[in-house]
C-alpha cells in the first residue's frame, strides 16, 4: 500500500473530489482526518470505518483561523502526527467583472485562498518537527488559461500555484514537499450546477472528448502525496484531458 499508516488531512472531504480522495487514500493504507462544513462528513467516516479504515471527521470552516488551529491540534493529539495535507476545499460564485459583488469576491477568496493559507500554516510546524510532509493543494486549469465570469475563482487558483512554489522553497529543507493539481472539467456537484450550454461547449476543447471524474484527481493527489513523488516539489500537475490552454 502506497500510504500505509500515513496520516492524511483532507479538507472539503464530504463530497466530490475530496470524498474520492478520502476513499482512495484509505484503500492505500492512510488514516484519514476529514474536514468539511457539511455534516455528511460523518456519514463518509462511518462508511470508511465499516470498510475497516481508521478515520475521524471534524466540521471545520477553513476560513476561520481559530477553528483550523483547534482542529489541527485535536487531530495531532489523536494521531500523533500529520503526514499529508490535501487542501481541497473550494467554492465558486461566478459573475462577470462588471456584475460581481464585493461579497462574491470576498467569499471565494476566503475559502479558496485564505483557507489554504490557514490550513497550511497550521499544519506546517507539525511537518517541520517530523521532518516529513506532503502538502498538495487544489488549483485549476483556469488559473493557466483564464475563464469567463470567474475573476474571483481564477484569482485564487492562480495564487495557489504561486504559493505552492514559495512553500516548496521555504519548507523543502524540512523534508516537506509542496505541490498542486490543476483539474479541468470534472463531474462533481459543483460542475453539475453549471448551465447545460456551458457544459456542452466545453467538450470540443478537450482532446479526450470527455469530462474527468473525481477519481482522476484523487489519483493525482495520491501520487504527489506518496513517497514515489519524494523528489517532486513546486509543481502544478494539470489533469484536464489535454484541454486547450
- Tens of pLDDT, residue by residue, the chain (245 residues): 999 999 999 999 999 999 999 999 999 999 999 999 999 999 999 999 999 999 999 999 999 999 999 999 999 999 999 999 999 999 999 999 999 999 999 999 999 999 999 999 999 999 999 999 999 999 999 999 999 999 999 999 999 999 999 999 999 999 999 999 999 999 887 777 667 777 777 888 899 999 999 999 999 999 999 999 999 999 999 999 999 66
Q: Which residues are catalytic?
A: 153
Quote the pTM value.
0.96
CA distances from 149 to 76, 94, 139 (A): 40, 6, 17
Cell of 87: 487542501
If one counts every other C-beta atom within 10 angstroms of the C-beta of residue 58, the result is 19
Q: Under CATH, which number does the domain 7-239 receive?
A: 3.40.50.720
Q: Helix, strand, coil proportions of the chain in percent (round to 5)?
A: 50, 15, 30
Amino acid at each position: 500500500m502506497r500510504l500505509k499508516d500515513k496520516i492524511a488531512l483532507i479538507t472539503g472531504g464530504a463530497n466530490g473530489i475530496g470524498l474520492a480522495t478520502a476513499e482512495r487514500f484509505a484503500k492505500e493504507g492512510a488514516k484519514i482526518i476529514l474536514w468539511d462544513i457539511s455534516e455528511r462528513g460523518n456519514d463518509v467516516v462511518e462508511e470508511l470505518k465499516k470498510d475497516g479504515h481508521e478515520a475521524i471527521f471534524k466540521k471545520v470552516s477553513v476560513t476561520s483561523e481559530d477553528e483550523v488551529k483547534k482542529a489541527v491540534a485535536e487531530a495531532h493529539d489523536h494521531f500523533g502526527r500529520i503526514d499529508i495535507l490535501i487542501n481541497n476545499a473550494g467554492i465558486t460564485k461566478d459573475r462577470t467583472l462588471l456584475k460581481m459583488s464585493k461579497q462574491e469576491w470576498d467569499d471565494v477568496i476566503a475559502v479558496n485562498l485564505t483557507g489554504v493559507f490557514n490550513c497550511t500554516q497550521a499544519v506546517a510546524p507539525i511537518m517541520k518537527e517530523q521532518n516529513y510532509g506532503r502538502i498538495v493543494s487544489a488549483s485549476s486549469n483556469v488559473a493557466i488559461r483564464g475563464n469567463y465570469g470567474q475573476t474571483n475563482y481564477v484569482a485564487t487558483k492562480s495564487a495557489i500555484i504561486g504559493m505552492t512554489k514559495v512553500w516548496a522553497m521555504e519548507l523543502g529543507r524540512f523534508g516537506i514537499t509542496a505541490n498542486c493539481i490543476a483539474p479541468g472539467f470534472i463531474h462533481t456537484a459543483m460542475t453539475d450546477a453549471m448551465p447545460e450550454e456551458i457544459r456542452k461547449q466545453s467538450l470540443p476543447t478537450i482532446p479526450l472528448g470527455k469530462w474527468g471524474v473525481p477519481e482522476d484527481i484523487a489519483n493525482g493527489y495520491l501520487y504527489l502525496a506518496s513517497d514515489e513523488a519524494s523528489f517532486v516539489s513546486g509543481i502544478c500537475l494539470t489533469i484536464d484531458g489535454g484541454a486547450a490552454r
